[in-house]
Amino acid sequence: MGVKLLLEKANVPGIRTYDVYRREGGYAAAEKALKEMSIEAIVEEVKKSGLRGRGGAGFPAGMKWSFIAKPEGVPRHLVCNADESEPGTFKDRYLMEFLPHLLLEGLLISSFALGSNDTYIYIRGEYAWVATILEEAIVEATKNGWLGKNILGTGFDCMIHVHRGAGAYICGEETALIESLEGKRGNPRIKPPFPAIQGLWMRPTVVNNVETLAAIVPIIKMGGEEYAKIGVGRSTGTKLISACGNINKPGVYEIDMTISVEDFIYSDEYCGGIAGGKKLKACIPGGSSVPILPANLLLKTAKGETRYMNYESLSDGGFATGSMMGSGGFIILDEDQCIVKNTLTLARFYRHESCGQCSPCREGTGWMEKILQKIELGKGEMSDIDLLWDIQRKIEGNTICPLGDAAAWPVAAAIRHFRDEFEWHINNRTLSQTSNFGLQHYADPIHVPA
Amino acid sequence: MSLQFNNEQMTEFKSLAARYPEGKQKSALLPVLHLAQDSFGGWLPTEAMDYVAGLLKIEPIEVYEVATFYSMYNLKPVGKFVFEVCQTGPCMISGSENIIAYIQKQLDIKPGETTKDGLFTLKLVECLGACGYAPMMQVGKIYREHLTKDKVDAIIAEYRMQVVAQN
Residue A221 C-alpha, separation from nearest chain B C-alpha, in angstroms: 30
Among the partner-chain residues A90, A168, A337, the one whose CB lies closest to the CB of B129 is A90
Q: What is the 3-state secondary structure (H, E, C) of A388-414?
A: HHHHHHHHCCCCCCCHHHHHHHHHHHH
Which of the residues B13, B33, B93, B94 would you substitute to probe the A interface, choosing the one with the greatest number of A C-beta atoms within 10 Å?
Answer: B93
Q: Which of A427, A438, A418, A333 is nearest to A375 (CA)?
A: A427
B75 to chain A, any CB pair closer than 8 A? The answer is no
DSSP string for A203-255: S-EEEEEHHHHHHHHHHHHH-HHHHHHSEETTEES-EEEEEEESBSS-EEEEE
Residue B134 at interface with chain A, using a CB cutoff of 8 Å: yes
CA distances from A311 to A90, A231, B120 (A): 19, 10, 45
A342 neighbourhood in chain B, CB within 8 Å: 89, 92-93
Interface confidence: ipTM more than 0.85: yes
Which residue type sits at B11? T
Interchain CB contacts (distance < 8 Å): A and B:
149
Å between A47 CA and nearest CA of chain B = 30
Which pLDDT value is given to residue A235? 92
B84: which DSSP letter?
Answer: E
How sure is the predictor about B1, in pLDDT bands with cuts at 50, 70 and 90? low
Distance from CA of B21 to the nearest CA of A (A): 9
- B21 chain-A contacts, CB cut-off 8 A: 75, 118, 201
Residue B26 near chain A (CB below 8 Å): yes
Give which of A165, A49, A25 is closest to A110, Cα–Cα.
A49
- Output the pTM of the full model: 0.96
User: What is the pLDDT at residue A445?
Assistant: 44
Distances (CA, A) of A255 to A84, A320, A327: 20, 26, 13
R_g of chain B computed on alpha carbons: 18
What's the pLDDT at A440? 59
Q: Determine phi and psi for A293, rounding to 5 degrees.
A: -120, 140
How far is the CA of A401 from the CAs of A89, A356, A390, in angstroms? Answer: 20, 11, 20
Confidence of residue A442 (pLDDT cuts 50, 70, 90): low
The percentage of residues in chain A with a pLDDT greater than 90, rounded to a whole number, is: 93
Kindly determine whether residue A345 and residue B141, on different chains, have CB atoms separated by under 8 Å: no
C-alpha span between A217 and A397 (Å, rounded): 36
Query: B125: nearest CA in chain A?
Result: A349
From B28, B71, B141, residue closest to A183, measured CB to CB: B28
Task: Decide if pLDDT at A162 tops 60.
Answer: yes
Contact of B74 with chain A, judged by CB distance below 8 Å, is answered with no
What DSSP element (H or E) covers A159?
A: strand A159-164
| Residues A303, A334: Cα–Cα separation, whole Å | 24
Give pLDDT, residue A437.
Answer: 84
Q: Report the 3 state secondary structure along A353-366.
A: HCCCCCHHHHHHHH
pLDDT digit string (tens) for A201-252? 999 999 999 999 999 999 999 999 999 999 898 999 999 999 999 999 999 9
For residue B33, list chain A residues with Cβ-Cβ distance below 8 A: 166
Average pLDDT over residues A269-298: 94
Q: A126, A337, A411: best mutation site toward chain B, by most B Cβ within 10 Å?
A: A126
Q: Does B38 touch chain A (CB under 8 A)?
A: no
Residues A306 and A265: beta-carbon distance below 8 Å = no
pLDDT at A443: 41
DSSP category for residue A42: H
pLDDT band at A444 (very low <50, low <70, confident <90, very high): very low
Q: How far apart are the first and last CA of chain A?
A: 22
Tell me whether B89 touches chain A (CB under 8 Å). Answer: yes
Whether the Cβ atoms of residue A26 and residue A220 lie closer than 8 Å to each other: no
Rounded CA-CA distance A231/A135 in Å is 34
What is the Cα A205 distance to its own chain's centre?
Answer: 20
CA A292 to chain centre: 16
End-to-end CA gap in chain B = 29
**Mean pLDDT over each residue of chain A, to the nearest integer:** 95
pLDDT at A141: 98
DSSP A276: G
Q: What is the pLDDT, as a whole number, of residue A243?
A: 98
- pLDDT(A314) > 50: yes
Instruction: Provide the pairing of β-strand B142-144 with B81-86.
Output: unpaired
Q: Report pLDDT for B166.
A: 87
In this complex, do A242 and B132 lie within 8 Å of one another by their Cβ atoms? Answer: yes
Tell me which of B13, B24, B29, B30 to substitute to probe the interface with A (most A C-beta atoms closer than 10 Å). B30
